[in-house]
Structure 1
Amino acid sequence: MLGTVALVFLCSWLAAAGGARPAALDVPRCCPADQALPPEALRADLLLAAAVPGACRPTNSTPWAPLVYAPARGSFLDRGRLPVHWRLAFSRVPACLELRILHEHAAPYALLANNGSLLMRGAALALPPERYCADAVAALVCAEDAGGRGPSKCCAEGRAFDGSRCVEDETRALEALNELRELANGSAVGAGWPACAEGSRYAVAGVLTGSKLFEDGALELHGENSRLEAGAWCAEAVAGESGTRVLACEAAARGVRPAQTARHVLYGAGLAIGAAFLAATLAAGFALPAAHHALHWRCQTHYVAALMLGDVLLAATQLAGDRVPPTLCRALAVCMHFLFLSAFFWLNTMCFNIWWTFR
């Protein structure tokens, strides 16, 4: 009887322990319920804490879905799933003078499920809820706690940038890391991309060789006489480029270098002139109706038309530089590929026709 009672008591205790939930935890949100900071307020690097309440605006966006890491599970929770013991504390701004903006799309931070702390990329310790507040697409942390704004390698260890994503390339990644460490002169080198207000769009700002690193983490590019602020750049080996390149947010990269080099302008102008003469050739051909029945004229017309259109698109991309959006750039590349292939096939047909005529 005594053993049965003890067993029941033990089972009840285990069930209670297994079903116990952590104490309720207040997770700070910067704005009131159904409000968020607008994009224009998040374009700055720093924001005065006193200005946050007045900057909040009503929003109809989707439910808050932060990146939450569960240490007990060793994995991230599904997006949109919040720990059951979290309570959202709205309009709770940290009690500090200036707040640094961390954009979520650059993945510079994650919230910890067990205690609601904010862990920044490259930081050794997490920030307690009193030192930050979360917004719909960003987090605001006390400026003095931000840290981690020294030199950083864009991609993870052993990976390099191929123009669109990080790929495995041990050799070039190690070269970039060693060059960055040499520039840092003993300072810690982090990893990660800069947080851009306009989204995850980056461009090459210059070369790392010969650049000057300041104590505050800012970088002066070699030969450009321009400065990138700390946290606005990273360095990486880029496919098709020699040496290590400095990558920055697209807007910042355009601000420190011309939109296009003299080489691109010269290529674009030459292609445009060539396209104009090809258009004149087409016009001359259409002005001679007597030749329209000839097979050679038809082949030549299609050949010149395809070559002219390909040159027009190529000239436009050369002159526009990196101002062409990625989606449009890929579409133009497909069109140019088709047009130049078409031109060479028509040229092959013309050659066969000439051989057949004079054989």
Structure 2
Amino acid sequence: MSALFTPLKLGSTTIPNRLGMSALTRNRSSATVPNDIMLKYYVQRAKGGAGLIVTEAILITRQGTEWQQAPGLWNKAQVEGWKKITDAVHAAGSKIYAQLWHLGRLSHPQAPEQLAAGVPVYAPSALSARGGKFRFLLGEPGYVTPTEIADPTAIIAQFKEAAINAKEAGFDGVELHGANGYIVHQFLDSTSNKRADKWGGSPENRTRFALEILKELKAVWGPDVAIRISPAGGYNDMGMPLQDTIDTFGHLLREAEALGLSYVALVRYNPWTDPEFDGKKRATQHDVVETFRPFLTKTPVFVNSGVTPDEAEELIKSGKAAGVFMGMNWLTHPDLGRRIREGKPLDNAPNFATLYGAEGVDPALGYIDYKEATY
């Protein structure tokens, strides 16, 4: 694994190796505030050899998410909670980016945080996503028809404010969550964005929202700004025809390259996140890396979704990727980097019952109790 365990410069930061920990929603915060058990979780993985940790998706404003214990980054208590984590991760020898997240149409108007926010569920267009399950609400309802955002610049301003808070919290950079059917992806996709103004229609218009956010993030962070995208779609009812997908994400990446990002994370097609509606799979299945890697000649590319250690080494050696992100393997192996480097087996099975926590169950279970290998 000589290529995987070499340093890499990303923006103004040098990471010690190219094995990144992908953003993983774990639902363990204390009413949106990062806490001590989260600190232990991140430090375990920093000590375990993660070159770059990307946080679980962080809410930039109060929203009625399916994950009631998701953390935020809009107030002082949250900033202070994250500061404890970033300091500890740095002391353990790793780097950490904040993934900035707005759910758009995937919120629910009756969720407590949405009610507390006092605003509707906003999206690019008044089109509901299929699926969803808000288990903490009576009847476990799914997604609802959202309110079309009159002025998208108001959401862009919230992303910028979160980026300012992330800097105060001591992060090394920020990653814009442009994947998995959340608000940035909703603007990009022609099946969820039916606007007739400058924010919809053509690929140039549908990419405007993402690009304007990236410009604001760079105004705060300079070169330490990244984006995560999942062009194949599937998850949360996303996916365009292939040519529209190539035209849209191709334009986005050309413009992102001109802006100068620290990296782009390309999420490959994954059958686990491809639901079936009306007897058909939702995603636009194609080779995301082969299709979109050529649009990025200067920007480091990280490949995510189902990457094995051997494949990671080959991707980096071949020049197809500067690094990789792993998700489930980091969840179940806090010492993943050390295991791979020293040839130990990846033999911890995930505890799916407590993946996102469970009512009345110790939050440590399936979170910080995975065993390390014997060295």
Q: TM bucket by the smaller chain?
A: under 0.3
| TM-score, normalising length: structure 1 | 0.26
Higher-strand-fraction structure: 1
Instruction: Determine which structure has greater relative contact order: mean sequence separation of CA pairs < 8 Å that are 6+ residues apart, divided by chain length.
Output: 2
Higher Cα Rg, which structure: 1
Higher-helix-fraction structure: 1
| TM-score, normalising length: structure 2 | 0.25
